[in-house]
Structure 1
Amino acid sequence: MTSIANLRKSYERAELSEDASQATPLLQFDQWLKEAIASEVPEPNAMTVATVASNLRPSTRVVLIKGYDERGITWFTNYDSRKGQELAGNPYAALQFHWVELERVVRIEGLVEKVSEQESDEYFNSRPLDSRIGAWASPQSQVISSRDVLVANAAKYGAQFLLRPPRPPHWGGYRLKPDNWQFWQGRKSRLHDRLRYTLSPVESDEPEWIRERLAP
């Protein structure tokens, strides 16, 4: 039997230096995400979202990023889900992208807010019909007796809304506004590259980012 303690890999694909990195974390993220997409890594848009409940227990789940710009990182989900309830009580979250084939990790932390009703409507209406019906059919994070509940709900709402299901009031987007980014590039001998961008506390018209190297 193989011991997992003996599983090791030498990371030797690339490096991340201060001189070669972008001046702002958004530009660096844009570069790395585009490289992940171009490299055809599996699910380059998948990210882990970590939230913390009122009892201080953390939880994580994988969702798909649906947008990013100077305002932050956007995804869509059920507001009544566990993550939705936890964000309602503690509006801070952490995100993580792991592109295994490129030996890269991106970590992002910040305040989370709901996107506008218009943004949620526009994205919802762009989804395939089955996905729009699914948003109505699944009481996300709630206990159900069997899969038959989902199938019955999908049939019910499909018959009710036909080809034009409206966006459920419990479904929409979140946007995380980053104040801390970390970019990790695997390197040989476990001497990895790790750059952190921290939002400067000094108020200015344009956000100012402090870039620092962290020990791996």
Structure 2
Amino acid sequence: MEALEQKIGYTFENKGYLAQALCHSSYANEHRGAGLQSNERLEFLGDSVLGFVTAEFLFQGNPDLPEGDLTRIRAALVCEQSLHEVAQKLELGTHLCLGRGEEAGGGRTRISILADAVEAVFAAVYLDGGRQAASDLIHRVLLDVAPKETMQAKRRDYKTALQELVQRQADQVLTYQMVGEDGPDHDKTFHAEVLLNDAVVGNGCGHSKKEAEQMAAKAALSDME
């Protein structure tokens, strides 16, 4: 635990908060007699803490940006992939408590597990040290080191861009449909395609249906622009 505290730059008064943040539900279920709580409740709180701190950061730092651009940048900053990158830098996977099955299935490197654990750690710091401590941590490991392309408002909403492109001609109809999914329930990958006048013009995949649709639109744009 001390090694992780050094990496995040925060020392806990109540080590129990950090212990809970690192406890995956699979481990808690296998040790029910010990009365352990998983990090799921902390993840819920951490998601809101992260969202608020990020929104405040963008609002104050970009006074001329409209709501739509702020929303897109925030989504890019707090997405699962972004949090996974934070977890990798902190080597968070080595500190997680996982059940035997999750351990054997590669849970220490699973994107969704690591992203959730990052949010749980944010919540743990918030509960232990307050809002400023949590904000300082989020800035230190995410906001202040975010790639420039992530911070730029021109990061595209591919579905909107594709819609605007095809509307330059009359009677153009875009539709999206899910064509498949794979993986376990806790780490599914969705596959989507976008159709222009019933003809497939792009395919994409992602860890949510919305992400899959965005990737399908991105593929279509790369061929049409």
> Which TM bucket (shorter chain)?
under 0.3
The structure with higher relative contact order (CA 8 Å, sep 6+) is: 1
TM-score by length of structure 2 reads: 0.24
TM-score by length of structure 1 reads: 0.25
Q: Which has the higher strand share?
A: 1
